[in-house]
């Protein structure tokens, strides 16, 4: 193999290395873009989950307050019904 053949072979090898470097650089760039998109999506999902948690906690709190109010009203109605029932049994004057 002559020196010229070796030089041509090395030049071909160098061209291949440059092309592989370009391809790998592009793959890394695309990979970084996808990772960034996934990180953004994960952050959006976390924010949405936090938002839903806050809303669910508010609904649970509202339900508890509604049940407490209903219980107080039921007690008052029972008391009034009991008072009304005992006054009906008394003779009218």
- List the chain pLDDT tens, one digit each, 93 residues: 899 999 999 999 999 999 999 999 999 999 999 999 999 999 999 999 999 999 999 999 999 999 999 999 999 999 999 888 766 555 555
Q: What pLDDT is attached to residue 92? A: 54
Separation between Cα atoms, residue 28 and residue 11, nearest integer Å: 26
Q: What pLDDT is attached to residue 83? A: 85
Helix (H) or strand (E) run with residue 54 in it: helix 3-89
Separation between Cα atoms, residue 93 and residue 87, nearest integer Å: 12
pTM for the complete prediction? 0.52
Helix (H) or strand (E) run with residue 14 in it: helix 3-89
């Amino acid at each position: 193999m002559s020196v010229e053949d070796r030089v041509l072979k090395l030049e071909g090898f160098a061209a291949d290395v440059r092309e592989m470097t370009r391809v790998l650089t592009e793959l890394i760039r695309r990979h970084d873009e996808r990772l960034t998109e996934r990180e953004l999506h994960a952050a959006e999902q976390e924010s949405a989950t936090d938002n839903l948690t806050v809303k669910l906690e508010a609904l649970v709190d509202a339900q508890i307050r509604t049940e407490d109010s209903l219980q107080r009203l039921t007690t008052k109605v029972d008391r009034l019904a009991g008072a009304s029932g005992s006054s009906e049994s008394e003779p009218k004057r």
